A and B are shown apart, each in its own frame.
Chain A
C-alpha cells in the first residue's frame, strides 16, 4: 500500500521484541503515544514510510506464544491471536468448514506473499475503508479483545472500527484476540469481492443468514464502498419479513444499493459502486438460498 511518499527510509525508532504479553503491555504502558504495536507490520511499515506514523518505539508481538494461537471450542467459537497470519488461517480446517465467509475473505486478501505476513487482527486495526477482514467478522458478530495492564475489554468489531483510521483502542492497549462465536446450526454465509482492475476492492460483501428456508437472522455487511463497514439494515429486513425469498432477493438488493452511504474516490464512482452493491447482493443471496 502506498500513497504519495517519495521516501526510501523509515523514521528512526527503537525496536522491542517482548517474549510475554505482560512485557508487551508494560512497554506500551511506558511509551503510550510514542509506541506502536507490530504484528505482520504490513500496515505499520507502509504508514511509517509515508510518514503518516512516526512512532519512536515499535513493539513486535510475534514472539508472544498465546498470540500465535488459533483455538476453536464447540459452543464458544473461534479465538484468533493477534500474531496469527492470514496464511495460517487459510489453512485452518475449522474456518474453512464453519466460517465460509471468513475463509473466502482471507483467501482473496491481497496475494499469497502478503498473506504470509499480514494478520487478521492487524487487518481490523488498519480501519481503512478497503480492508476485507472486518466484513465477514461483523457478519458473524465477532468481538475484539483489547487488553491493557489493568483491564480487558471485549468490543464488537462493528463498534471497534469507529471510522476511517479510527479504532476504539487507547494508547496503552493491545488488540490481542478476535472472538468469533460459533455459528448457529442452520448458518450459511458467503463473501464476495469485486476488484477487477484495482488493487483495492471496489466493493465487498459478506452475507450471513441463519435459516435458509425461513431466515431468523440476516446480516448483510458491505466494505470498500463507504468510509467504514456498513450494514444494509432495510435490505436485511426485507429478507427477514418476506413471504417469498426468491422474489425478495432483487428487492433487497435494490434497497441495499440505495440505502447505504457510498463514496466516490480515485478508485471508483458512487453510481458504479451502487450498481456493484446490487450485483453482489443478488449473487450472495442467490448462492445462500440456492435458488434453482
Chain B
C-alpha cells in the first residue's frame, strides 16, 4: 500500500534534519516501542507492541538507511519486520523543504504486510499502518515545535 503526506514543522531546516537523521531521536516517536538498539550504519532493531482494537501483538522490526543526502535533505529508509506469523516490509522516502522559519517535511511510504495476517486482515492492517506513519510524523512535528 502506498501513501504519502506532509507536515509543517516550526523549526529551521537543519534542526529538523538533525532530528530525523538521528535514530535515537526519531525512535522516541514510534508508538509502542518496547526496546531498541542502534547498530552500525544507523541500523535500528526494535521490539514494538502493536495495538489494534483489543489485539496486542509484538513485532520485531528493523530499519536501515538506504540513502541519505544532507545537502539535498533527502533520505530513504527500508523497514522490515515480523511478528505473529506475518511480516512486513517497506520503503519510506523523506524530503525536507526550506520555508520561512519553518520546514516542510514530505514523506512517501510503500509498505506491504505479508503472510496470513496480511491477507486475512488486510483492510484492518492498512488502516493501522497508515495511522502509525501519520502519528510518527506528527510526533516529530510536536517535538520540534
CB of A216 to closest CB in B, whole Å:
35
Query: Would A51 and B116 count as touching, CB distance under 8 A?
Result: no
Within 8 A of B (CB), among A149-169: 162-167, 169
Which A residues are CB-close (under 8 A) to B84?
A: 3-5, 50-52
CB of A187 to closest CB in B, whole Å:
33
Closest to A261 in B: B123
Q: Does A10 contact B (CB under 8 A)?
A: no
Query: Would B57 and A51 count as touching, CB distance under 8 A?
Result: yes
Tell me which of B57, B115, B124 contacts A227 (CB under 8 A).
B124
Tell me which of B52, B58, B121, B123 contacts A51 (CB under 8 A).
B58
Closest to B54 in A: A165
Q: Does A54 contact B (CB under 8 A)?
A: yes
Known: A227-B124, A266-B120. A4 touches B86 (CB 8 A): yes
What's the Cα separation between A162 and B115 when bound, in Å? 25
Which A residues are CB-close (under 8 A) to B58?
A: 51, 54
Which A residues are CB-close (under 8 A) to B52?
A: 165-166
Closest to B124 in A: A164
Query: Would B55 and A3 count as touching, CB distance under 8 A?
Result: no
Query: Would A54 and B86 count as touching, CB distance under 8 A?
Result: no
Tell me which of B53, B57, B115, B119 contacts A164 (CB under 8 A).
B53
Within 8 A of A (CB), among B87-145: 115-117, 119-124
Q: Does A265 contact B (CB under 8 A)?
A: yes
CB of A258 to closest CB in B, whole Å:
19
Query: Would A265 and B119 count as touching, CB distance under 8 A?
Result: yes
What's the Cα separation between A169 and B56 when bound, in Å? 15
Which A residues are CB-close (under 8 A) to B120?
A: 3, 265-267
Query: Would B55 and A53 count as touching, CB distance under 8 A?
Result: yes
What's the Cα separation between A51 and B49 when bound, in Å? 11
Query: Would B123 and A227 count as touching, CB distance under 8 A?
Result: yes
Closest to B122 in A: A265
Tell me which of A5, A54, A164, A169 contacts B121 (CB under 8 A).
A164
Closest to A3 in B: B116
Within 8 A of B (CB), among A257-292: 263, 265-267
What's the Cα separation between A47 and B124 when bound, in Å? 16
Closest to B116 in A: A4
Query: Would B53 and A3 count as touching, CB distance under 8 A?
Result: no
Known: A3-B120, A4-B115. A165 touches B53 (CB 8 A): yes
What's the Cα separation between A154 and B55 when bound, in Å? 24
Which B residues are CB-close (under 8 A) to A164?
A: 53, 121, 123-124
Tell me which of A6, A162, A267 contacts B85 (CB under 8 A).
A6
What's the Cα separation between A52 and B52 when bound, in Å? 10
Tell me which of B57, B119, B123 contacts A52 (CB under 8 A).
B57
Known A-B contacts: A227-B124, A266-B120. Give 7 more (CB < 8 A): A4-B85, A4-B116, A50-B85, A53-B54, A162-B53, A163-B53, A164-B53
Q: Can you list 13 contacts pairing A with B, beta carbon distance less than 8 Å?
A: A4-B85, A4-B116, A5-B84, A6-B85, A50-B57, A53-B54, A127-B53, A165-B124, A227-B123, A265-B119, A266-B116, A266-B120, A267-B120
Q: Interface of B with A (CB < 8 Å)?
A: 52-58, 83-86, 115-117, 119-124
Smallest CB-CB A-B distances: 4 pairs? A4-B85, A165-B53, A166-B53, A4-B116
